[in-house]
Amino acid sequence: MQTAQIEKNGTFRKGWWLVLLVVAAVVAPFVISEFYLAILGEALIMSLLALSFNLLFGYMGQLSFGQAAFYGLSGYTVAMLITKAHFNFWLSLLAGIFMAIVLGLLIGYFCVRLRGIYFSILTLAFGQLIFFVIYKWHNFTGGDDGIQGVFPPELLKSPVHYYFFILVVFVAATLILRRIVNSPFGYTLKSMRENSERTEFLGVNIGRYQLIAFVIAAAYAGLAGVLWAPFYRSMAPSSLMWIKSGEPVMAAILGGPSLFFGPVLGMFIMTFFHAWVLGFTVFWPVVMGALILIVIFFLPGGILGFSQEKLKERRERVQGTLEQGNVGMTGDQ
Amino acid sequence: MFLQTQAVTKDFGKLRAVNKVSLEILKGDVHAIIGPNGAGKSTFFNLITGYHRTTSGKVLFKGREITHLPAYRRCKLGITRSFQITSIYPKLTVYESVLMALLSHRKVTHHLFSSAKKFFNEDVWRILEDIGLADQADRLGDSISHGDKKRLELAVTVGTEPELLLLDEPTCGMSPEETEMTMGLINKLSQERGLTILFTEHDMGVVFGIAKRISVLHQGALIADGPPQEVRESPEVQKVYLGGAA
């Protein structure tokens, strides 16, 4: 009874924070400069990429080093459909996500047979393969020139409008993904991360579930990609490079892969820090490296993971003293 | 016919770990497989669960050949094992671990948008209470005692609602009290849930205490098979055990 109450309070408090953050995000365009609004939009889009990565890493226990392939391919799909085929904007977005899903099925089919470092290397290899195809195929994709002039429809041309479009998609996608990780399917992923052999002996076809998770992650990376192309008005081949795939990895480590919003926090810190640091120096990777080192050495579990751990310890201590003080009472605190 | 092996053989390179073992396990029995170290008990187990593939011979479950089915398919048919080296989920709670077993067995793992916590609440608690883990429900798998881990392993196994339960050294590393408790538990499971239990064990006290039938393996071959009394008096078994130990 008592634990149930505490749990309820806990989720209530957590929900409160989320509502507060969403309100802040809605108010933001009227408070911050256009420059920082663009950074905020970028952080939201990239957070979807981080969530995509962390479904595989934090929940399933497999480190993908190729998420940029899905992100880039879907972005390119949108960019090319809009600029070359003058396709309907909304249908282009759907086509982009569809391409990410197809690529996810294809790459996933090969990757989910592997575990650990072999999985990471194969996702990296596939990612680089897609990158080189787009980079070298100059006639079709524009090669290293990329694609420019990817304009959203009139309604979304203003930065504030496009920002709200991103926000709505982000909130909806996040809510859906959170349901997924707390569903029986999500539990199955977690159990595979903890001990996949045991899960197989519970009667689960490991390969199939890994593939489904891989495809969902690909769809989320694709969602980030289709939002990005019209947001940035262009697509460059560097969006498919392994360096791009590394960003969600760093975001997850920074924020904490064990918590749903850890990678989102990590991505926000990275994006804003990046924008801020570039005002002083171009040696951004050095600063980022130092930040990662600090987190790994002093905040194991990531910023959010570490603080959650400390909070829990404190709550347990408080609860311990409460229980000691209330021996014999019916616990109506 | 419940479970039957027909001359199953397993070679690891040139080593013949299991040599033409033909055995029948009857429904509802508590059946022990014993033998000295390296006799092939674990390998024989693995051939039944599908962890290893047979080199030759057949495995039949309820009249159906399962020799070539992968482990997860056999599990769905009702054959479940627990592991000798406790194989738990370190960072899932005791409750979540048992829940996972039920989610899988009752085929809801593909549900993407419903909350896992809403499933099978009562059944999870019943299993935890049966096994005596209810008070540990919220603790993480790697934070409980060794004996509790063994019991958690058993609880997860029971969660798959098997017909045939294979236990590999269920009392390995347990104190005498814990061993006693586990034996009671095995008896309870067999009687109350009607499980057929096949287990390996090195503790002869446990074996003769609860097994209704005993099979003895020696160097991969079956050398005796029958009720405890008969096996105990078999000259060959005495030669293997007493000759080896003395």
3-state SS, chain B, equals CCEEEEEEEEEECCEEEEEEEEEEECCCCEEEEECCCCCCHHHHHHHHHCCCCCCEEEEEECCEECCCCCHHHHHHHCEEEECCCCCCCCCCEHHHHHHHHHHHHCCCCCCCCCCHHHCCHHHHHHHHHHHCCHHHCCCEHHHCCHHHHHHHHHHHHHHCCCCEEEEECCCCCCCHHHHHHHHHHHHHHHHHCCCEEEEECCCHHHHHHHCCEEEEEECCEEEEEECHHHHHHCHHHHHHHHHHHC
φ, ψ dihedrals at B188, nearest 5°: -60, -45
- Rounded Cα distance, B187 and B30, in Å: 8
Identity of the residue in B80, B115, B160 whose CB atom sits nearest the CB atom of A183: B115
Q: Taking CB atoms and an 8 Å limit, are A187 and B100 in contact across chains?
A: yes
* Same domain, residue pair B170 and B143: no
DSSP reduced 3-state for A260: coil
Q: How many CB atoms lie within 10 A of CB A7?
A: 11
Q: Taking CB atoms and an 8 Å limit, are A204 and B91 in contact across chains?
A: no
Residue A322 or B78, more confident: B78
Identity of the residue in B91, B101, B108 whose CB atom sits nearest the CB atom of A194: B91
Task: For chain A, say whether B96 makes contact (Cβ under 8 Å).
Answer: yes
Average pLDDT over residues B18-39: 89
Q: Per-residue pLDDT tens for A69-101?
A: 999 999 999 999 999 998 999 999 999 999 999
Confidence of residue B118 (pLDDT cuts 50, 70, 90): confident
* Same domain, residue pair B123 and B244: no
* Same domain, residue pair B140 and B190: no
Q: How many CB atoms lie within 10 A of CB A295?
A: 22
Give me the number of domains chain B comprises. 2
What is chain A's mean pLDDT, rounded?
88
Residue A7 has a pLDDT of 47
CATH number at residue B18: 3.40.50.300
Task: For chain A, say whether B81 makes contact (Cβ under 8 Å).
Answer: yes
DSSP reduced 3-state for A182: coil
Residue A13 has a pLDDT of 59
Q: Taking CB atoms and an 8 Å limit, are A201 and B108 in contact across chains?
A: no
B76, B164 in Cβ contact below 8 A? no
DSSP reduced 3-state for A236: coil
Does residue A185 form part of some domain? yes
What is chain B's mean pLDDT, rounded?
86
- Rounded Cα distance, B206 and B183, in Å: 7
Does residue A13 form part of some domain? no
SS3 letters across B52-71: CCCCEEEEEECCEECCCCCH
B7, B58 in Cβ contact below 8 A? yes
A55 DSSP assignment: I
User: Which residues of chain B make contact with A173, given a CB cutoff of 8 A?
Assistant: none
Q: Taking CB atoms and an 8 Å limit, are B116 and A186 in contact across chains?
A: yes
Does residue A284 form part of some domain? no
Q: Per-residue pLDDT tens for B20-29?
A: 999 999 988 9
Q: Taking CB atoms and an 8 Å limit, are A201 and B75 in contact across chains?
A: yes
Confidence of residue A175 (pLDDT cuts 50, 70, 90): very high
The chain B residue lying nearest A186, using CA atoms, is B112
Does residue A266 form part of some domain? no
Does residue A269 form part of some domain? no
- Rounded Cα distance, A168 and A41, in Å: 11
Residue B161 has a pLDDT of 82
What is the helix (H) or strand (E) element at residue A163, kind and residue range? helix A159-181
Q: Over 60: is that where the pLDDT of B91 sits? A: yes
- Rounded Cα distance, A312 and A324, in Å: 18
Q: Over 70: is that where the pLDDT of A22 sits? A: yes
Q: Taking CB atoms and an 8 Å limit, are B113 and A187 in contact across chains?
A: no
Residue B131 has a pLDDT of 84
User: Which residues of chain B make contact with A257, given a CB cutoff of 8 A?
Assistant: none
Does residue A298 form part of some domain? no
Which of B86, B87, B100 would you mutate first to test chain A, the one with the most A CBs within 10 A?
B100
- Rounded Cα distance, B118 and B99, in Å: 10
Residue for token digits 């262009």? A234
Confidence of residue A59 (pLDDT cuts 50, 70, 90): very high
Across A15-29, A226-240, B61-75, which has the greatest mean pLDDT?
Answer: A226-240
* Same domain, residue pair B35 and B131: no
* Same domain, residue pair B101 and B148: yes
Burial class (CB in 10 A: 0-12, 13-18, 19+), A35: exposed
- Rounded Cα distance, A33 and B237, in Å: 86
Residue B86 has a pLDDT of 67
Residue A102 has a pLDDT of 97
| Residue-range definition of the domain harbouring residue B109 | 87-161
Two tokens at A199?
A: 């899960």
| Residue-range definition of the domain harbouring residue A98 | 32-246
CA nearest neighbour of A59 among B158, B91, B179: B91
Confidence of residue A230 (pLDDT cuts 50, 70, 90): very high
Residue B207 has a pLDDT of 87
Confidence of residue A160 (pLDDT cuts 50, 70, 90): very high
User: Which residues of chain A make contact with B83, given a CB cutoff of 8 A?
Assistant: 198
Domain boundary, last residue among B101, B135, B161: B161
Rounded to whole angstroms, what are the CA distances from B138 to A12, A298, B105? 20, 28, 22
Give me the number of domains chain A comprises. 1
Q: Taking CB atoms and an 8 Å limit, are A198 and B111 in contact across chains?
A: no
Task: For chain A, say whether B52 makes contact (Cβ under 8 Å).
Answer: no
Does residue A232 form part of some domain? yes
Task: For chain A, say whether B56 makes contact (Cβ under 8 Å).
Answer: no
* Same domain, residue pair B184 and B145: no
Which of A55, A201, A216, A315 would you mutate first to test chain B, the one with the most B CBs within 10 A?
A201
Q: Per-residue pLDDT tens for B51-60?
A: 888 999 999 9
Helix axes A284-298, A262-277, angle to 10 degrees: 140
* Same domain, residue pair B129 and B157: yes
Question: What is the least distance, in Å, from the CA of A108 to any CA of chain B?
Answer: 18
* Same domain, residue pair B139 and B173: no
Residue for token digits 């009227």? A30
Q: Taking CB atoms and an 8 Å limit, are A201 and B76 in contact across chains?
A: no
* Same domain, residue pair B72 and B175: yes
Residue A313 has a pLDDT of 83
Q: ∠ CA(B229), CA(B232), CA(B238), 5° rounding? A: 165
* Same domain, residue pair B230 and B170: yes
Does residue A267 form part of some domain? no
Q: Give every strand in the sheet of B196-200, ordered side by side.
A: B79-82, B164-168, B196-200, B30-34, B213-218, B221-226
CA A272 to chain centre: 16
Q: Over 60: is that where the pLDDT of A329 sits? A: no
User: Which residues of chain B make contact with A185, given a CB cutoff of 8 A?
Assistant: 109-112
Q: Taking CB atoms and an 8 Å limit, are A203 and B90 in contact across chains?
A: no
Domain boundary, last residue among B161, B182, B197: B161
User: Which residues of chain B make contact with A186, given a CB cutoff of 8 A?
Assistant: 116
- Rounded Cα distance, A51 and A252, in Å: 9
* Same domain, residue pair B73 and B101: no
Q: Taking CB atoms and an 8 Å limit, are A191 and B111 in contact across chains?
A: no
Domain boundary, last residue among B127, B161, B195: B161
Q: Taking CB atoms and an 8 Å limit, are B104 and A204 in contact across chains?
A: yes
B116, A184 in Cβ contact below 8 A? yes
